[in-house]
Every structure is written in C-alpha cells, then in structure tokens.
C-alpha cells in the first residue's frame, strides 16, 4: 500500500507539474501578445516560470482546502443514496455532459490565464530603455522580453509613450547604454502594420 501511495503521489506531482507548465505557457503567451510578439519567443526558464508556478500552487492549495472542507460539511454520500437508480444510457449522457462541461471550464481557464498575462504586461511601468545606433542615428529602444541569451527590443516613441512592434534581438553580452526607466502611465503598443503599408 505504501508503494502504491508513493506511485499515486508521484503521478499527482507529474500531473500538477505538467498543468503548471501549461498555465505558465498560457500566461506568458498572453504577456507577449500584449507586445504583438510572436509565440516563438516564449522562453520558459526558472526566472520566468517560478513566480507563476508559486501562484498556481497557492491557488490549487486554496481550492483543494475549500473542496475538502465542502466534502466534510455536505453529506454527498447520503445525497447519492437518495437519488433514484439510473440506467446505463443516462450514465453515458451524464458522463458526456460532465466531459463537455470540463472541456468548457478548461478553455475558459486558458482564456483567463492568457488575460492575466496580457493584463500583467499592460500594467508594467518600469522598462529597460536601451540606446542603439541605427543608420548612424542614436535611437531609443525598450526591452520587451528575454529569450535565451538575448533580449528582444522594440523602438520607443517617447512623445506617444508607445512601442512599435518591430523587434530585434541583442545578445546580453553586447548590451550597452541601458537603464531602467519608470513610465507613469506605462507604455502602449502601436498596431501591427498592414501588408499594404509595406508597399508604400
């Protein structure tokens, strides 16, 4: 029985870890979507995933305690005994309905975590501002996210306090003239250009 318990615990840990990584990915996807950055730049590493995992496990623990407390308070066994016997067809229909409901809940949760990621990005007020020479002219860029050993930057418009979704990567070892700057109202992201604009 002890071995079985250890196996069960291991399975639960694996499942929770997989779900946590999924949640972290969806959250990060929402975060970079705010900057109009492609999903290929999602980099799940210790620095990015740890805070998200901690929050997820905290939420899971709270939900678990609430459900456990509810099961203690409500006599579900007595309620089930009071229910009339159901036919196999009714059981199948009930199972399909439960499965469908679970699918809807999962999709809604994915949307929710994606929204949280996008919301988190929209509330950011401190950004790394980088000076870079472009066509012999010094311009300002903003560090949007880190990807492996590089930082993804985008042009900064100080007057509009906005970011142009035109990205390039700089290796961290080549990073110079960078400082953290506080923007009281955060930074907006301009719309992605239309294909017709490229012809002009």
In sign, the C-alpha dihedral spanning 151, 153, 158, 164 is negative
Residues 88 and 94 sit within 8 Å (Cβ to Cβ): no
Q: 110: closest CA among 19, 41, 48, 36?
A: 19
- Cα atoms in the 13 Å half-sphere on the side-chain side of 127: 30
Q: 18: closest CA among 47, 64, 60, 68?
A: 60
- Where are any strands of DSSP class E within 57-172? 126-134, 137-147, 150-157, 162-163, 168-171
How many whole angstroms from its chain centre is CA 116?
7
Per residue of the chain (200 residues), what is the pLDDT tens digit?
A: 444 455 666 776 777 777 778 888 888 899 999 999 888 888 877 777 777 777 777 877 787 788 777 767 766 566 556 556 667 777 678 778 878 887 788 788 888 888 988 998 999 999 999 988 877 788 899 999 888 888 999 999 998 999 999 999 888 888 888 899 999 989 999 988 776 665 55
Residues 134 and 160 sit within 8 Å (Cβ to Cβ): no
Residue 188's contacts (CB-CB under 8 Å, 6 or more residues apart) are 160, 161, 162, 163
User: Distance between CA atoms of 25 and 52, rounded to whole angstroms?
Assistant: 10
Residue 64's contacts (CB-CB under 8 Å, 6 or more residues apart) are none
Residues 34 and 165 sit within 8 Å (Cβ to Cβ): no
Q: Is 166 helix (H, G, I), strand (E, B) or coil?
A: coil
């Amino acid at each position: 029985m002890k071995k079985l318990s250890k196996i069960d615990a291991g399975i639960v840990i694996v499942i929770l870890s997989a779900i946590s990584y999924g949640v972290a990915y969806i959250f990060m996807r929402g975060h970079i979507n705010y900057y109009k950055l492609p999903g290929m730049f999602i980099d799940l590493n210790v620095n990015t995933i740890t805070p998200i995992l901690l929050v997820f496990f905290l939420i899971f623990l709270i939900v678990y305690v609430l459900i456990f407390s509810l099961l203690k308070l409500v006599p579900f066994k007595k309620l089930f005994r009071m229910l009339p016997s159901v036919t196999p067809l009714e059981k199948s229909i009930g199972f399909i309905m439960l499965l469908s409901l679970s699918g809807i809940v999962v999709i809604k949760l994915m949307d929710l975590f994606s929204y949280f990621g996008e919301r988190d990005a929209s509330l950011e007020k401190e950004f790394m501002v980088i000076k870079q020479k472009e066509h012999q002219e010094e311009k300002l860029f903003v560090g949007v996210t880190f990807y492996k050993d590089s930082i993804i930057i985008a042009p900064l418009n100080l007057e509009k306090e906005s970011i142009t979704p035109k990205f390039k990567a700089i290796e961290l070892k080549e990073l110079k003239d960078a400082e953290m700057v506080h923007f009281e109202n955060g930074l907006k992201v301009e719309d992605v250009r239309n294909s017709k604009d490229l012809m002009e």
